[in-house]
Amino acid sequence: MQQLALALAPPPEPTFDSFFVARNAAPFEVLRQAAAQGARADHEPPHDEQFIYLWGERGAGKSHLLRAFVAEAKTHGSAARYFVAGESIDAGDGEILAAVDDVNGLDMVGQLALFDLYNRIRTRGGVLVSAGSRPPSELPLREDLRTRLGAGIVMRLEPLTDEEKAAAISEHGRRRGLDLPPDLIEYLLSHVTRDMGTQMAVVDTLDRVSLERKRTPTLPLLRDVLRQLQDESGMRP
């Protein structure tokens, strides 16, 4: 059988269009509107709409929505930045839109930087979207920062059910022109126990391999792809 130098396809840049909404219509719509309205020079959002906090378990889609928020804001002409715990949080001066991910992982330097960013956005305009694994009151952060993060809109992201995950993967395949059979999707969900981003990347890799080998995406081909990914890149189910 033909062997390829195979690497996991990089996940596509998150957008609102590629987010599988399911039970998260409310936070999805709040961020979509904030990304569009934040770019308007005549828009002065009320205090609570300037600050949005999302929380939920790993894989619920927090990072996807924060990155989509930044990408969408840029299409409307806003200066928008995405940060994650461990990076230097410095969004500059003036009216900005910022997304800060994984706030529960911020060290003291990061907490001070986020505190400063919050106050700058409050006084100079813009929107701050942040996300973590817990509600603001349960975050292992400074009390004054916890209070500020909880002062605006706080919304929980609900994780996808197995049925919703299957529907999301099927929809992702259709976007690439793939008609993924149910047994293939079931195998993917049960053998790639990582976040949805990784599972989508496996679908993209399967698409590329099927084109290179001129084969229809089938369960045997998926097994072959997963086996080769494990052998060549150390990926583990």
Which DSSP string corresponds to 12-71?
PPP-STT---TT-HHHHHHHHHHHHHTT-TT----HHHHEEEEE--TTSSHHHHHHHHHH
Residues 168 and 55 in one domain: no
Q: Among 120, 140, 156, where does a domain finish? A: 156
- Give pLDDT, residue 95: 66
* 151 pLDDT higher than 80: yes
Q: What is the residue-averaged pLDDT of the chain?
A: 87
| pLDDT greater than 90 at residue 42 | no
What is the predicted pLDDT for the residue at 5?
43
Say whether both 97 and 177 belong to one domain.
no
pLDDT of 213 over the 60 cut: yes
- 17, part of any domain: no
Token reading at 77: 């002409």
Give how many domains the chain has, as a whole number. Answer: 2
- Is the pLDDT assigned to residue 51 strictly greater than 90? yes
Cβ-based neighbours of 153, under 8 Å, separated by 6 or more:
30, 48, 49, 51, 52, 53
Give the range among 9-18, 75-84, 108-117, 168-177 with minimum mean pLDDT: 9-18
Angle value at C-alpha 175, between 172 and 180, nearest 5 degrees: 60
User: Which has more confidence, 237 or 131?
Assistant: 131
- Looking at residue 177, the DSSP 8-state letter turns out to be T
pTM (two decimals): 0.85
The neighbouring-strand residues paired with 132 are 55
* Cα gap 172→203, rounded to integer Å: 8
**In terms of domains, do 128 and 184 share one?**
no
